[in-house]
Amino acid sequence: MSYTGQKSVADAYASVLTSFLPDDIVTIKVNCINSQLPTHIEVVNAVVGGLISAGVKNNNIIIWDRTNHELIKCGFIYNISESGVRCFGTDQKGWAMISR
């Protein structure tokens, strides 16, 4: 809210997502491989809450990292269903991790 000058979290997120369309998907890349300083779930939950308050459908939010195992080990809730915020690794069947 401070950054955007808006008076609510929903308005702050909406002011940043100016070209967002209702069916757009928002992905949040987290870092679970660094065991000393992984992405904090509380930060991700705050971002997800802001996105939802700005009108992003919860199933159009995908939290992801390298593997399902690493996400679960960090405390994220694995979800590939058609309801709720989705969370899975690039090793999820139907998705691919590109290596060079």
Is pLDDT above 80 for 99?
A: no
Tokens of 27: 């992905």
- Domains identified in the chain, total number: 1
Residue 97 lies in a domain: no
Residue 99 lies in a domain: no
Give the range of the structural domain holding residue 14, as residue numbers without chain letter: 9-89
Residue 73 lies in a domain: yes
pTM of the model: 0.88
Residue 42 lies in a domain: yes
Residue 1 lies in a domain: no
Tokens of 70: 């690493």
Residue 27 lies in a domain: yes
How far apart (Å, rounded) are the C-alpha atoms in residues 91 and 100? 16
Count CB-CB contacts under 10 A for residue 80.
14
Distance between alpha carbon 42 and the CA centroid of its chain, in Å?
12
Residue 64 lies in a domain: yes
CB-based burial label for 63 (10 Å; 0-12, 13-18, 19+): buried
Task: State the pLDDT at residue 100.
Answer: 45
Distance between alpha carbon 4 and the CA centroid of its chain, in Å?
21
Who contacts 12 (Cβ-Cβ below 8 Å, separation ≥6)?
A: 1, 3, 4, 6, 50
Q: What angle in degrees, to the nearest 10, is found between the helix axes of 9-16 and 41-53?
A: 80
Task: State the pLDDT at residue 96.
Answer: 63
What confidence tens digit (pLDDT) does each residue in 36-67 have?
Answer: 899 999 999 999 999 999 999 999 999 999 99
Token pair 């008076």: residue? 7
